[in-house]
Amino acid sequence: MQSFQLIKPCFALAPYIRHYWILQDDSIAPVSERTLPIGCMQLVFHKGKQLLLLGESELQPQSFISGQSVGFSDVMSTGRIEMITVVFQPYAVKALFHIPSHLFRGQTVDTDAMEDVELSDLVKQVTDTSDNAVCIRLIEQFFLRRLYTLPEYNLKRMSAVFHEINLRPQINISHLSGTACLEVTAVPSSPYPDYSTGIWISVNNSSGGVSHGLFR
């Protein structure tokens, strides 16, 4: 038997978390699935058997943070599935983990590698709790404690930018800067630009190329 739940976060976390989803499947027979990029980072808890990454021929970690990906991934079940996933807003991870989101890009980071004692405690609590409704409450309590001072106008600006990109995929950086009332800095010459001073955006432009800019 398979069940899927989509759960909205509490009001205070809605600017940071898009939703939670819970997947349960009691089937023992292997099932393969292709996952596609959604533009959001995710925190995944495997309470059942971990999924096998077919491209790498290795299991996903028991719990991990999945960065924004640029391609699909093929996975296969290895037994009973029970997983809880937190889907973050595209711009919100730094507020919750104090780490720039670009460092997670294309990465699957085991929560153990985060060296975050509170996060490790949460993983243990979620793993040891059979009631998934209680798990969601534990996750929300964790993130409510994590919120640190992030000026609300910055969230609104970033939200407006991503809304425009979703409405008009072929949009130029100058238009986005006007939407967010922000200055745009030209592409940095360094191969390792300092993203911490703003928001790095790349979008397709109307001529078929790609525009880049650092929003400050």
pLDDT at position 165 = 64
- In this predicted structure, the answer to whether residue 96 has a pLDDT above a threshold of 80 is yes
Positive or negative torsion for Cα 72, 73, 77, 82: negative
Q: Across residues 191-216, what is the average pLDDT?
A: 48
- In this predicted structure, the answer to whether residue 170 has a pLDDT above a threshold of 80 is no
Q: Across residues 110-120, what is the average pLDDT?
A: 95
pLDDT category of residue 84 using cuts at 50, 70 and 90: very high
Which two tokens mark 55? 């491209």
Question: What whole-number distance in Å separates Cα of residue 177 and Cα of residue 213?
Answer: 9
Q: Across residues 62-89, what is the average pLDDT?
A: 94
Q: Across residues 51-78, what is the average pLDDT?
A: 92
Residue 84: partners with Cβ closer than 8 Å, 6 or more residues away: 20, 21, 22, 44, 45, 47, 126, 132, 135, 136, 139
| Angle, CA 167 vertex, CA 165 and CA 168 arms, to 5° | 65
pLDDT at position 22 = 98
pTM more than 0.75: no
pLDDT at position 173 = 64
Q: Which CATH number fits domain 2-146: 2.60.120, 2.60.40, 1.20.58, 1.10.3470?
A: 2.60.120
Q: In what order do the strands lie in the sheet with 52-53?
A: 32-35, 73-76, 52-53, 58-59
pLDDT at position 101 = 84
pLDDT at position 102 = 85
DSSP 8-state code for residue 51: P
Q: What is the mean pLDDT of the chain?
A: 81
Q: Across residues 165-186, what is the average pLDDT?
A: 62
Question: What whole-number distance in Å separates Cα of residue 191 and Cα of residue 209?
Answer: 20
Residue ranges, CATH 2.60.120, the chain: 2-146
Question: What whole-number distance in Å separates Cα of residue 171 and Cα of residue 186?
Answer: 16
Please give the share of the chain, as a percent, with pLDDT higher than 90.
Answer: 49
Of 43-47, 51-55, 69-73, 139-143, the poorest mean pLDDT is in 69-73
What is the tens place of the pLDDT at every residue in 26-61? 988 998 999 988 889 999 999 999 999 998 889 999
Question: What whole-number distance in Å separates Cα of residue 164 and Cα of residue 171?
Answer: 8
Question: What whole-number distance in Å separates Cα of residue 180 and Cα of residue 154?
Answer: 9
Q: Give the distance, in angstroms, between the CA of residue 42 and the centroid of all CA atoms in the same chain.
A: 3
